[in-house]
Structure 1
């Protein structure tokens, strides 16, 4: 269980647990618009963070895995935001229609393509791109994102480059990148990218989670996560 200030995440039946980089995505992405889609919601973390940050948002949270869908549904139902979040059991490739488009899309997608497999099928689904290759993810985003909408995605640096190149083929370009490091002496391990149609002007920022001692949270990280973490 992971307890936040305004909701609780139960995660005993989900392959992907609450992690720091996903929390940064939920706290950093622009969720000011009214209709939001969370692709691969897992525990429901990003949907719940978006609902807390934007009291006017209505959120569809789509999840393929049976156990994760059930747990996300329970986490949402137990929260104060249950009237504004719908957890949907579906493959994103088969979800929605041309008539239903979103102002914001949030994604913390699987990214391993050639990596040792786990004996746990749910872990493989959460970590590997077999069920959701980047090409199919981008097709879904192109179908579901409004022309003036934003797509926010969390990936390692190499995979960010691959996805950015593929997204450019349908006219989606980065306008914001947040580079995450454990601390200033470490390399970037994740990038949060905001993409939208028709722009190639990018604002680049870097967020260090810890001071160089590797134990003390930076002021910037504390400020970003203060609305959510009980320790701040």
Structure 2
């Protein structure tokens, strides 16, 4: 799957700066390995596992991780997260850019369907995995459209996971929000909601806030 702007925003915005030595991070549905690589760049001591169900995507993520300066800290696992298990199974941070389409038209490409539709990873399975794998003092960061984020949040409460921080993303100030990045935890944490416009109202010029957030990752800045 191609790298998209909103996934880059998740990788740049999510709190991966756990202060303990060698924190453990998990990227569920890593695709190209983007979030795992961004987390490794942002946290120089983190040990990162990245799970991917699709064979070709897992192969590409492995190639990308091995070609990076962080190859000794990233491990790609070709497996459904429902079957993923490590010892100890406790992560300080989990990052997820999950599939979210449920009743939309399908692509003739099976890999595209797997990446975009919830058949292989419904929210119930995702929450069960996070409940099993996230440290009770850890954080789970998720990227979804607003409606799907509301649906996920309602289900998350049943697992004891509550949102503590949210970034609402819009193309520009005159457009509606099209993505939410939300941090969940098992414990009550202080946090605030904020907004981010990718472009100025001309639809072409990146905003200063977007440039500041992505400047360590975008070569054009």
**For the superposition of Structure 1 and Structure 2, which TM-score range results when normalised by the shorter chain?**
over 0.9
**Is the Cα–Cα contact under 8 Å of residues 98 and 144 in structure 1 kept in the other structure?**
no
- Corresponding residue to 1:144 among 133, 157, 161: 133
Residue 114 of structure 1: aligned partner: 103
- Corresponding residue to 2:212 among 196, 204, 223: 223
Cα offsets for 1:141-162 (capped at 9, x unmatched):
0000000000000000000000
Residues in 2 aligned to 1:70 and 1:77: alpha-carbon distance in whole angstroms: 11
Q: Please give the TM-score of this superposition, normalised by the length of structure 1.
A: 0.91
Q: Give the ranges of 4+ consecutive aligned residues of structure 1 lying more than 3 Å apart after TM superposition.
A: none
* Residues 1:24 and 2:9 are matched in the alignment: yes
Q: Please give the TM-score of this superposition, normalised by the length of structure 2.
A: 0.96
- Corresponding residue to 1:164 among 145, 150, 153: 153
Residue 153 of structure 1: aligned partner: 142
Superposition deviation, residue 198 in structure 1: 2.9
Structure 1, unaligned runs of 5 or more: 1-15
Superposition deviation, residue 188 in structure 1: 0.2
Aligned residue for 1:169, secondary structure, equals helix
| Residues 80 and 97 of structure 1: CA distance in aligned 2, closer, same or farther (over 3 Å) | closer
Cα offsets for 1:144-193 (capped at 9, x unmatched):
00000000000000000000010011110000000000000000000000
CA RMSD of aligned residues (A): 1.1
Aligned residues: 217
**Is the Cα–Cα contact under 8 Å of residues 98 and 143 in structure 1 kept in the other structure?**
no
Structure 2, unaligned runs of 5 or more: none
